[in-house]
Amino acid sequence: MGRRKTAENLAANPLALNRRARVRCVGLTRDVWAGPGGWKPGRGGSWRCLCFRFASAEQEAAAEQSGVSEAPALAPRLSAKPQPRSGAGPPESQGLRGPRGAGCRLRSRRRLSWTAARQIGAEMLGQDVRCLLAVAAASGIATLILILVQVKDVYLPARTKYGMVFDAGSSHTALYIYQWPADKENGTGIVSQAEACTVQGPGISSYAENPANAGASLRACLDKAMTIIPVEQQRETPTYLGATAGMRLLREQNSTKADLVFAEVSKTIRQYPVDFRGARILTGNEEGSFGWITINYLLEMLIRFSFTGMRIHPEAAAVVGALDLGGASTQITFHPGRAIEDNSTEVLFRLYGTNYSLYTHSYLCYGENQALKKLIASLREENLTSQQISHPCYPKGYEENVTAAALYDSPCVPAPAAHDPSQILTVRGTGAPAECRSAIQKLFNFTACGANRTCGFNGVYQPPEHGQFFAFSGFYSVFHFLNLTSGHPLSDVSATIEHFCAKDWKEVQMVDPGMNKTRLQDYCAASTYILTLLLQGYKFDNQTWSNIHFHRQVAAVDVGWSLGYMLNLTNTIPLEAPNRVKGQRPDLWAAAVLTTCLTLAMIIWTGLALCYQWPFATYETML
């Protein structure tokens, strides 16, 4: 059929060969290839074209007026030796190779007028193109149906967002890197800890005399963070620095120095491609309540996942309380299950769609380090003129020297009216547990509350304890050293502390020979202080002691205020709508791709046929 199409095309377009050579193809002939004998007339043969070459335009015009039958008298037919294709069988084309490679036939076995040849060629070309277009249209309709059948909205996985929090405590600074899905859950992110980095050196409040070093100390952890957070997300990563009791004390002592320290750390953080949102001092209530959020989040008391992957919101009454002991302050936070009488001790949170009303209070200067410094100062008050201080909580045989300036360098430890800052004081341990307890109890005021009000100590309102409590930070580290973190009864805890405080310095050193002795001598005083704080300060007793659980980590995450801080901040970070796309079953998608390819092939084939046949008249060779 392709060869017939070629003839039709040539007949329908007499100028198809070459206008300059004045070659006209005006008829159709059907011949059979007879081998060496060449082409011979016969049924079932190949359709060939009848072409003439005219010597002048006048001959061409005369041929067109007189018809094909008279054309041979005016111009010779073209003759050429057939050129078969590779392989057996007759050639598919022969004849003269014009400037565009057209083929022509030698003789005419069928004679048509110019008009008839044009009509036949146009009709047969139209049938061929219509067939291709029909196939393309059918394939396109099938593709459209397959694409639209069972199409559903599919939400792509939420993008991960990152946030960083510097915990600038009184004794050290740590950087925590958190991540959460951008779609969040009822406004709060499902946050996890990606990395933690401890800053080398003391807390930033210790750089009051050299603020530039405070900023420089953060660089190592910031460099590490840049290797964890993807480059394309660094500039949108919210970064915060929260300072606690150490900077609160520095601000009370010298606000100018505190501002200079903040200026230097802010300057350093802004040199990195992050969304720095400022450095600030957390209030005591914020520190306590954010610690409460952290512990309850890690224990899945705020939200948890069922075995089916569904998110479950536990009842608010199931939450646990938080007990935090830092270097300069201590915090107690819990859900009292009743109305809170003092509004200054109440905080409200909305997390994962649930409202929480919490009691919280922070006791500044009652952190472990400041409390032990206050203890030495109170022991000196018994004899201010002497340079010798007897310390009942230090083991017998231990002795250290301390300057008066170092002892009274904090607002928590007011200096006597007349004292020499350069004076060297000698502190000697006596190892007397009973005297140690008595001296520590003098640091508290347990009688200021009155008979008609429930209190903690120093006259601060505190409702009765309710539920379970998790004690972390200093509570855990001290009791962990004494192996008292595994749910021991109160009697065993008291006996262990009593026995340890009765040891002399040589015996204490044998407990853990590798520990720095500047810390080792403090464990008797620290453990006695913690026991006094929990029993007489926070009002736990023999019945409620078992409700206290000592932990440093939960779910492999350090417990502290920073995670709760980030969880609360995700309420202010804009929610990102998940990306939505159209989804389809894989088998239907594969079928749609196949029919799309078929449609495109038919369209391209039709275009090639139209573009190639008309100017070249060699559709036969294309096939």
pLDDT digit string, tens, across residues 205-242: 999 999 999 999 999 999 999 999 999 999 999 999 99
- Does residue 592 sit within a domain? no
* Residue 590 DSSP code: H
- Does residue 523 sit within a domain? no
Q: Quick check: 16 and 9 in contact, CB under 8 A?
A: yes
Q: Quick check: 48 and 79 in contact, CB under 8 A?
A: no
- Does residue 542 sit within a domain? no
pLDDT in tens, 310-324: 556 666 668 999 999
Beta bridge partners of 185: 188
Q: Which of 419, 437, 455 is the last residue of a domain?
A: 437
Q: Which of 437, 465, 495 is the last residue of a domain?
A: 437
CATH of the domain at 357: 3.30.420.40
- Does residue 543 sit within a domain? no
Checking if the pLDDT of 616 tops 70, the result is no
**Closest C-alpha among 438, 407, 433 to residue 420:** 407
Q: Are strands 399-403 and 424-429 parallel, antiparallel or unpaired?
A: antiparallel
Q: Is 287 a catalytic residue?
A: yes
Q: Are residues 169 and 98 in the same domain?
A: no
**Annotated binding-site members:** 327-331
Secondary structure E strands in 290-345: 304-305, 311-312, 321-325, 329-334
* Residue 105 DSSP code: B
Domain range holding 408?
370-437
Work out the average pLDDT over 113-127: 50
Q: Binning pLDDT at 50, 70 and 90, where does residue 556 land?
A: confident
Question: Of all residues in the chain, what percent are helix, strand and coil, respectively (each to 5)?
Answer: 40, 20, 35
Q: Are residues 285 and 397 in the same domain?
A: no
Q: Cβ–Cβ contacts within 10 Å for residue 515, how many?
A: 13
**Closest C-alpha among 91, 131, 65 to residue 609:** 131
**Closest C-alpha among 329, 342, 254 to residue 284:** 329
Give the per-residue pLDDT at 46.
52
513 burial class (0-12, 13-18, 19+ CB within 10 angstroms)? exposed
Q: What is the mean pLDDT of the chain?
A: 77
Q: Are residues 422 and 308 in the same domain?
A: no
Amino acid at 194: A
Q: Binning pLDDT at 50, 70 and 90, where does residue 351 land?
A: confident
Structural domain tally of the chain?
3
Q: Are residues 390 and 469 in the same domain?
A: no
Q: Are residues 199 and 342 in the same domain?
A: yes
Q: Per mean pLDDT, which range of 55-69, 185-199, 220-234, 515-529 is the poorest?
A: 55-69
Q: Quick check: 40 and 61 in contact, CB under 8 A?
A: no
Q: Are residues 122 and 191 in the same domain?
A: no
Work out the average pLDDT over 392-413: 94
pLDDT in tens, 129-168: 667 667 667 766 766 665 556 555 544 445 788 999 999 9
Q: Are residues 112 and 188 in the same domain?
A: no
pLDDT in tens, 452-508: 678 999 999 999 988 999 999 999 999 999 999 998 999 999 999 999 999 999 999
- Does residue 589 sit within a domain? no
Q: Are residues 286 and 346 in the same domain?
A: yes
Work out the average pLDDT over 43-49: 53
Asked whether the CA dihedral 227, 229, 230, 231 is positive or negative, the reply is negative
Give the per-residue pLDDT at 99.
35
DSSP states along 16-81: SSBTTTTEEEEEEEEEEE-GGG-EEE-TT-EEEEEEEE-SSHHHHHHHHHH-GGGHHHHSPBP---
- Does residue 384 sit within a domain? yes
The helix (run of H) or strand (run of E) holding residue 401 is strand 399-403
Checking if the pLDDT of 178 tops 60, the result is yes
Report d(CA 323, CA 334) in Å as an integer: 9
**Annotated binding-site members for ATP:** 327-331
Report d(CA 498, CA 431) in Å as an integer: 10
Checking if the pLDDT of 20 tops 90, the result is no
- Does residue 450 sit within a domain? yes
Q: Are residues 55 and 68 in the same domain?
A: yes
DSSP states along 315-326: -GGG--EEEEE-
Report the 3 state secondary structure along 147-158: HHCCCEEEECCC
**What percentage of the chain carries pLDDT values higher than 90?**
46
Q: Are residues 190 and 52 in the same domain?
A: no
- Does residue 458 sit within a domain? yes
Cα–Cα–Cα angle for 294, 300, 301, rounded to 5 degrees: 85
Q: Are residues 409 and 341 in the same domain?
A: no
Q: What is the dihedral of CA 68, 69, 72, 78, to 10 degrees?
A: 50
Q: Are strands 469-473 and 311-312 parallel, antiparallel or unpaired?
A: unpaired
Q: Which of 381, 408, 437 is the last residue of a domain?
A: 437
Please tell me which residue in 287, 368, 465, 620 is annotated as part of the active site: 287
CA neighbours closer than 13 Å in the CB half-sphere of residue 398: 27
Q: Are residues 201 and 82 in the same domain?
A: no
